[in-house]
Amino acid sequence: MRVLGISAHYHDSAAALLVDGEPVCAVQEERLSRRKNDAAFPLSAIEWCLEQARVEPDQLDAVVFYEKPMLKFERILTMALRGFPRTWGSFPRAMQNALGGKLWVKGIIRSQLGIRTDRILFCEHHQSHAAAAFFTAPTKSAAILTADGVGEWATLTLGRGEVDEAGRARIQLSRELRFPHSLGMLYSTFTAYLGFPVNEGEYKVMGLAAYGNPTYEGLLKRIAQRTPDGGLALDLSWFDFHQGARHSYSRKMVAELGPPREPWDPIDLQSADGRRYADVAASVQRVLEEILVDLARRLQRETGLHDLCLGGGVALNGVANARILRESGFRNVYVPSAPGDAGCALGAALYADRIHFARAHQPVADHPYWGPAVDAGELSRVAGEDGLDAMRLPEAELIRRVADELARGRIVGWMQGACELGPRALGNRSILAAPHQHAMRDRLNRSIKYREEFRPFAPAVPLEHADRYFELPPGGARLARFMSGVFPVRPEWRDKLAAVTHVDGTARLQTVDRAMAPAFHALLEAYGARTGMPVLLNTSFNLAGEPIVNRAIEGYSTFRRSGIDLLVAGDSLVVKDHSTQALPEVA
Amino acid sequence: MRVEPSRLDRLLKPLHRWVWADPRRRARKLLRFAETEADGARDLARAAELTRDPLLRRLYLRHAEDEQRHADLFAGRGRDLATRGAGGRFEANWLAPGERGLDDLRLEQEADESLLAFLHLSEQAAAGRFTVYVEVLDADPQTRAVFTRILEDEVFHMTYTRRQLARLSPRKQGLLLWQARAGRVWHAYLRAAAVLAAVLGHVFLALQYFLLLPAFALLAKRAARKEAEGLSAARHPTPMTSQY
């Protein structure tokens, strides 16, 4: 049986293909179209998946869309009616959006793939999130918590998933929070207030929070009030997102918190405004964490289960995830590599396979590498054409050479195997560097990433050494498998891991399992043999405003335009030679 | 290669002077130019990744780096001005645009020759316009210096795109340039048509909103008041064949 999952039309569209219940490939459209957070119908991703599995569209048994378009339209229309007449400005835009394409998904799928309409299925948005979290986790019984901005109506769901001995699977979402009351929208509204792009800049708020004090916590708790059943009710007088206004926050919020930050305005943490922004970030972060921890704690008590599967964009908040693990009573917290909408393509396909078609569950390979593989030959070819010497080295020699260069303070673009599904570079499309000095962080910010100084870089460490450098609670190493948790760096190592230790002494680490990423693991070990610390700074292989690289040529283009010293794609290695970058006389 | 402003830009010089006179508007325009240049940098990097011609790849990469530097220059000056001045929010982008970059060109579908022709015209138009901006910015030497610096790069971009077009397509270069000109006109028409369609659609839907929705709005508001706050029982899953 062949099931194709699709997510599209909001942000991060993607496609994923299951063959006989097993995922064979999945990729975000942005990695192929090279448009960051590409929300378009993922035709390139679909074509790549089908080609990869040598499947023709008419051989697909089902194509599953990750949400129910009509139900979503009902929410948009209802909110426009409820907000009458204040929604007059946003109503035409919302209708043009919906009627201009989003509502006609079935027709788009039928016309693009040429398949029968009875093979097109629709999975509710939060069921897709739940399935992506539960069916990819190594557990047979777990509580499920999903939270994001909004799907159709639900913004947060609570439930459980189970697989019995015969492999029969069940996902039961028992309660939900409905729009406009939304944890994700609460956080996004403050993301917008702080001048960061919504659906993209939320992790900047998390990074900024560490510099502030939660002085607005009381106010935030008035804005996001808890209900007796453990839920949440936003005081909508502070918001405008539900009325579709230009800003998601209201004038009342600006009057109370002061002027919002302009996107172009740099954050100076020494200035009064800079400290205010950091305090606002710290406050919203604190409130988000406390609500999530409380919800998870109640869910644990109610279900008595040991495992929790987290899904939805809110599950990208590593600080909150780590607190859930420490304080909720769950022994394990599982977050997939793509908990956001991109992962819903895989979730929707898994839901259809296990629930709709009632096929027996089989464990999903526990890794994030579902995308296109890198072609080492392509790097050799283009580097050769540019007069650069591209070496093809046996793996052991390649690892030795790269570890030597990293120990010498060089910055390495590292591409191996298939690209990751999700927003994190987990060792297959990474920029790697020595993690020991602040100077390296500054150099990366200045010459490669061009990003705000307050944002931390992440470390990667072999699973077996993680405890030595980081304070991991039970289950912490697992949560860090896909960089989903933020944990304290042990005090004695903070000075030696200065480039990856955030201002509050924490790091969003990745624990690298030899079985999952053997070459990356070997590189970390080799680096450890040279420096005494098998820890590397690992940041995503992209420049500001661009998606993570996919093909070797994209890695090469990034390498040429930035301060990366060495580029590795598979077994091919290129060292930057500044003299070859001069152009012949063409002007 | 000489840079000449178009006749239209010359004609509009008093208007340009007025547009650039307000510091707040100047700041916003520069910040918007910065975004366009950064987009252009990404498009050119993509062009470099797609071409099979090694020399073009290197030139596109250099061009992409230039565009990124321009983005930084515009953003830096825009930020400087924005923190000081006050004034109107009207940016007059249609009257005084920046560089249009690669417009809505589908890079994957373009041959090197047609892309070079398009880039050449785009750079030529931007350079011509920037010379006018330099002339009208006599009261703001710092912004003027930014444009002057960028203009030097634009001349290089105009030159290399023209020479490379001649190298790749010595016989058809004239035709390709005319096709690119027609393409620019077509894109301008599409932009204008899209805006007009959006405005008409907006007006039509806004009319419907006020004429048809009030009664339903009352019902929706009444229903909303009855909704309990907090968690509710999850919706019973509907069949996967249903879009509801």
Q: What is the CATH number of the domain that holds A413?
A: 3.90.870.20
CB A463 within 8 A of CB A477: yes
State whether A88 and A44 are in the same domain. Answer: yes
State whether A445 and A477 are in the same domain. Answer: yes
CB nearest B240 (choices: A181, A356, A557): A356
Q: d(Cα A159, Cα A172) in Å, to the nearest integer? A: 5
Mean pLDDT for all residues in chain B: 89
Q: d(Cα B212, Cα B200) in Å, to the nearest integer? A: 18
State whether A304 and A378 are in the same domain. Answer: no
State whether A214 and A289 are in the same domain. Answer: yes
Q: Token match 């499920």: residue?
A: A144
Domain assignment present for residue A104? The answer is yes
Q: At what angle do helices B23-50 and B13-21 cross, to 10 degrees?
A: 110
> Is A122 within 8 Å of B57 when comparing Cβ atoms?
no
Domain end point (choices A279, A311, A333)? A333
State whether A242 and A325 are in the same domain. Answer: yes
Residues B28-69 pLDDT 10s: 999 999 999 999 999 999 999 999 999 999 999 999 999 999
- Whether a cis peptide bond, with omega within 30° of 0, leads into B170 is no
pLDDT of residue A343: 98
Q: Which residues of chain A have pLDDT under 70?
A: 244-245, 578-587
Residue A2's DSSP bridge partners are A19
Contacts with A, B 117-136, CB within 8 Å: none
State whether A448 and A576 are in the same domain. Answer: yes
State whether A513 and A393 are in the same domain. Answer: yes
Which CATH number goes with the domain that contains A102?
A: 3.30.420.40
Which amino acid would we find at residue A278?
Answer: A
CB A482 within 8 A of CB A336: yes
> Is B240 within 8 Å of A352 when comparing Cβ atoms?
yes
Q: d(Cα B75, Cα A161) in Å, to the nearest integer? A: 50
pLDDT of residue B109: 81
Work out how many domains chain A is built from and give that number.
3
**How many helical (H) and strand (E) elements, i.e. helices and strands, does chain B have?**
8, 1
CB A10 within 8 A of CB A125: no
Domain end point (choices A309, A333, A357)? A333
CA distance B11 to chain A (A): 30
Q: Taking Cα atoms as reference points, which of A491, A480, A529, A500 lies closest to residue A439?
A: A500
Q: How far apart are the first and last CA of chain B?
A: 62
Per-residue confidence band for B98, with pLDDT thresholds at 50, 70 and 90: low
State whether A520 and A541 are in the same domain. Answer: yes
Domain ranges of chain B: 7-177
Domain assignment present for residue A227? The answer is yes
State whether A425 and A359 are in the same domain. Answer: no
Residues B79-88 pLDDT 10s: 999 876 554 5
> H helices of A431-505, where?
438-444, 466-469, 476-479
Q: Is the pLDDT of residue B226 over 80?
A: yes
Q: d(Cα A132, Cα A316) in Å, to the nearest integer? A: 14
pLDDT of residue A463: 98
Domain assignment present for residue A143? The answer is no
Residue A170's DSSP bridge partners are A162
Domain assignment present for residue A174? The answer is no
Domain assignment present for residue A145? The answer is no
What are the tokens at A284?
């919203």
Q: How far apart are the first and last CA of chain A?
A: 59
> Is A68 within 8 Å of B242 when comparing Cβ atoms?
yes
- B57 part of contact set with chain A, CB < 8 Å: yes
A393's CB contacts (< 8 A; 6+ apart) are: A401, A571, A573
State whether A193 and A329 are in the same domain. Answer: yes
pLDDT of residue A205: 97
Q: Taking Cα atoms as reference points, which of A362, A361, A351, A364 lies closest to residue A127?
A: A351
- A585 part of contact set with chain B, CB < 8 Å: no
Kindly state the DSSP code that residue A217 receives in the 8-state scheme: H
CB A79 within 8 A of CB A87: yes
Q: Which residues of A touch B214 (CB under 8 A)?
A: 84
Domain assignment present for residue A166? The answer is no
Give the structural domain span for A99: 2-129+345-366
Q: Is the pLDDT of residue B103 over 90?
A: no
Residues B128-156 pLDDT 10s: 999 999 999 999 999 999 999 999 999 99
State whether A111 and A250 are in the same domain. Answer: no
Which CATH number goes with the domain that contains A312?
A: 3.30.420
State whether A358 and A282 are in the same domain. Answer: no
How many C-beta atoms surround the C-beta of residue B192 within 10 A? 11
Residues A543-573 pLDDT 10s: 989 999 999 999 999 999 999 999 999 999 9
Residue A431's DSSP bridge partners are A413, A539
Assigned superfamily of B7-177: Ferritin, core subunit, four-helix bundle (1.20.1260.10)
CB A337 within 8 A of CB A516: no
Q: Which residues of B touch A352 (CB under 8 A)?
A: 240
Domain assignment present for residue A19? The answer is yes
pLDDT of residue B163: 96
Indicate the SS3 state at residue A242: helix
pLDDT of residue A472: 98
CA distance B16 to chain A (A): 24
Domain assignment present for residue A146? The answer is no
CB nearest B234 (choices: A175, A554, A587): A175
Q: Is the pLDDT of residue B105 over 70?
A: no
The residue in chain B having the minimum alpha-carbon distance to the alpha carbon of residue A546 is B42
- A582 part of contact set with chain B, CB < 8 Å: no
Q: Which residues of A touch B65 (CB under 8 A)?
A: 561
- Name the more confident of A520 and B16: A520
Contacts with B, A 320-359, CB within 8 Å: 351-352, 356
Q: Taking Cα atoms as reference points, which of A55, A80, A47 lies closest to residue A3?
A: A55
> Is B54 within 8 Å of A356 when comparing Cβ atoms?
no
Rounded to two decimals, the pTM is 0.94
